[in-house]
Structure 1
Amino acid sequence: MRAPSATTLILLGLVAGLTAGAVLHAVEAPGEASLVAAAAAVGGVWLDALRMTIIPLVFALLVTGMARAADAVGRGGLAGRALLAFGGLLLLAATLTAGLTPALLAAWPAPGEAAAALRAAATGDPGNIPQTPPLSEWLGAFIPANPFKAAADGAMASLVVFDLIFGLAVSRLDAARRDLLVTVFDGVQAAMMVIVRWVLVLAPGGVFLLALTVGARTGFGAVGLLGHYVVIVSLMCLMAGALG
């Protein structure tokens, strides 16, 4: 009999954690607060171990990918046309998804009570939702005056813009320097992937603890909210895949 895949184990951990947390929430078990606090602390450590790889991994992948893509486009031919076609389809899929998702959520909204409980668990105040910044401030945030500060703050949008510009600049260097930088960043992304694999070995347990925390704070409503999210995302992914 073949062992369950990592994806199956993570999904089982998610369902088991939500169910266990919801049961704790429903029966108001003694020591629930201490148990949930411990689960949140340990699960948070696992999540931080996974998150610590995101910025160097994204940076390295974008730099190497942009440098190689620009080189392929510069050479023209089938590779360049295929890359441009892929970029166009990706942009179309993102645009359609951004437009259709709000319409789908309006036609089929998430369970209100569960969403409010989840928001309260995350922020402590269901009415404390950040205001949308002005357009000038929103546009200005895409260009980081200090890329290192953007990385430290986790400002992914501005960091991605810097990555793309840096990768394009790398593609314009002479061959020796370009190949050296691409090799270095390729090694960085390979090392980050090794760390990710190490962390994902513990994923079923980490996901179980985080899901238990959510379930204990929101009850069984979190299960319905998760199902709603999965259906919405699956529909958008199927639509994007159909465009290809």
Structure 2
Amino acid sequence: MKQHQKMLLGIVIGTVAGIAANLLVGGAPWLDWVVTNVTSLVGQLFLRLLLMLVVPLLFAALVTGVCELDLRSIGRLGVRTLGYTVVISSIAVLIGLFLVNTLKPGTRLSEEAIAALVQKGSVVKAAPAPSADSVPGLILSMVPTNPIKAAADGDMIALIVFSLISGVGLMVTDTPGSRHLKETILGLYDVLMTLIDGVLRLAPIGVGALLFSVTARLGFGILVQVASFVGVVLLALGLHMFVVYSLSVRFLGGRNPIAFFRDCRLAIVTAFSTASSSATLPTALKVAEENLKLPRNVSRFVLTAGSAMNQNGTALFEGVTVLFLAQVFGVELSLANQAVVMFICVLAGIGTAGVPAGSIPVIAMILGMFKIPPEGLGLILGVDRFLDMCRTTLNVTGDLAAAVYVARGEPAPENQTPPVPARSESSVS
């Protein structure tokens, strides 16, 4: 069996077993013990093994990718990546806002369901609201005073800036020592990719354990309670993934969308199972270079930056959630207020941590800005893990779609085979 098929099998077995356990013996003490001490432990170990490799891989991939560019290419790649991110994220939020305003899922929830699901004692700590000098503060925060501390704190944007600067310095320095350092970092990248192959062999077990833990505790009953909200989120995510990304890949990337999604299967399944863009970065890099045949300097640059900045699914989810909770509690948001929500969601999608539930504090901050009761997040927390898996899938697919767009027209390095040209529909089995 291929790797993605093994992971899909793990997803099916873990989900079915979890639902069966929830229906048959839900609430039994021994089931709670198994979930806490066995399946959750196995799943979290798998996630930690992936996350352990993210920081060194991000540094090594970005430095080696920049070393193969020239100064003009860096500026061009940066502008194209950022421009693509802003435009596609804006489209994602607009799709979400349009569907919420049209379908009005927040008006369909009964008072009994709200009372049962809202947990007033579990309000999430909100992210700090943007201040008047937030733009200068954002720019300053992008340049770390201590890159090691930034890496330890999970400040991926600061780490990306440090890696870019290091790559540029290594590119313009031609000494025996710098050439040796370049080879050393390239060797580090090769070792990390070997370790990733080993970790992915454990993926079916880790994925099955994660999904068993979620479904055994919650079942699908909670999805029924907030089915309208879940349905709108899934509809918006599906439209963006299969319509917007397909158009982007076809017309901006010059590739066959069907072939693109087929080649990205392993990254898509990994993203869905881990619910973490950061944890999926190693697999996305592997897919970009081995399946999509993208120039490695472009794929390393775009995907490492995209794992922290190109969060289309996160931006969409935040916008939908804010408007949904506003409808639940009867808070009217004007078009101007919705435009502010959209702007914040796009910016938050660039700065939100690529880890499970990383968007929840940002949503809490936006709710506070518009006087929407923050305890409404209790409605979301019960289904957030499932929706996080779905939006992370969109985020990672968006990173690969962005890499395809940016790679088009970029010359491939002399020592690498150029990207595979677009295939016709008739060539797809």
- Cα distance, 1:56 vs. partner? 0.5
With over 3 angstroms needed to count, the CA separation of the structure-2 counterparts of 1:97 and 1:19, relative to structure 1, is: farther
With over 3 angstroms needed to count, the CA separation of the structure-2 counterparts of 1:102 and 1:93, relative to structure 1, is: same
Match of 1:12 in 2: 9
- Cα distance, 1:178 vs. partner? 3.4
Secondary structure in 1 matching 2:165:
helix
Secondary structure in 2 matching 1:53:
helix
- Cα distance, 1:165 vs. partner? 0.9
Distance in 2 between residues matched to 1:229 and 1:10, nearest whole Å: 25
Checking the alignment, whether the CA contact within 8 Å between 2:99 and 2:236 is kept in structure 1 is no
Match of 1:34 in 2: 33
- Cα distance, 1:230 vs. partner? 6.1
Greater length-normalized contact order (CA 8 Å, ≥ 6 residues apart):
1
Secondary structure in 2 matching 1:125:
coil
Checking the alignment, whether the CA contact within 8 Å between 1:39 and 1:212 is kept in structure 2 is yes
Match of 2:165 in 1: 165
Match of 2:185 in 1: 185
Q: Does 1:214 align with 2:214?
A: yes
Distance in 2 between residues matched to 1:47 and 1:131, nearest whole Å: 28
Match of 1:76 in 2: none
Distance in 1 between residues matched to 2:64 and 2:203, nearest whole Å: 28
The TM-score normalised by the length of structure 2 is: 0.46
Distance in 2 between residues matched to 1:10 and 1:229, nearest whole Å: 25
Count of matched residue positions in the alignment of Structure 1 and Structure 2: 225
Contiguous gaps of at least 5 residues in structure 2: 254-429
Distance in 2 between residues matched to 1:148 and 1:128, nearest whole Å: 26
Checking the alignment, whether the CA contact within 8 Å between 2:96 and 2:236 is kept in structure 1 is no
Q: Where do residues 1-244 of structure 1 align in structure 2 (5 Å cutoff)?
A: 3=1, 5-27=2-24, 28=26, 30=28, 31-37=30-36, 38-70=38-70, 73=72, 88-108=79-99, 125=122, 127-134=124-131, 135=134, 136-220=136-220, 221=223, 231=238, 232-241=240-249, 242-244=251-253
Distance in 1 between residues matched to 2:77 and 2:144, nearest whole Å: 27
With over 3 angstroms needed to count, the CA separation of the structure-2 counterparts of 1:88 and 1:130, relative to structure 1, is: closer
Q: Which amino acid aligns with 2:165?
A: I
Distance in 2 between residues matched to 1:98 and 1:142, nearest whole Å: 20
Q: Which amino acid aligns with 1:238?
A: S
Checking the alignment, whether the CA contact within 8 Å between 2:144 and 2:159 is kept in structure 1 is yes
Deviations 1:112-141 (A, max 9, x none): 89xx9xxx9xxx935444344541443332
Checking the alignment, whether the CA contact within 8 Å between 1:44 and 1:210 is kept in structure 2 is yes
With over 3 angstroms needed to count, the CA separation of the structure-2 counterparts of 1:176 and 1:233, relative to structure 1, is: farther
The TM-score normalised by the length of structure 1 is: 0.77
Q: CA RMSD in A?
A: 3.3
With over 3 angstroms needed to count, the CA separation of the structure-2 counterparts of 1:11 and 1:167, relative to structure 1, is: same
With over 3 angstroms needed to count, the CA separation of the structure-2 counterparts of 1:10 and 1:217, relative to structure 1, is: same
- Cα distance, 1:70 vs. partner? 2.3
Identity %: 28
Deviations 1:193-226 (A, max 9, x none): 0110000001011011112222234432399679
Q: Which amino acid aligns with 2:10?
A: G
Larger helix proportion of the pair: 1
Distance in 1 between residues matched to 2:53 and 2:14, nearest whole Å: 25
- Cα distance, 1:107 vs. partner? 3.0
Checking the alignment, whether the CA contact within 8 Å between 2:22 and 2:217 is kept in structure 1 is yes
Secondary structure in 2 matching 1:160:
helix
Q: Which amino acid aligns with 1:139?
A: I
Match of 2:264 in 1: none
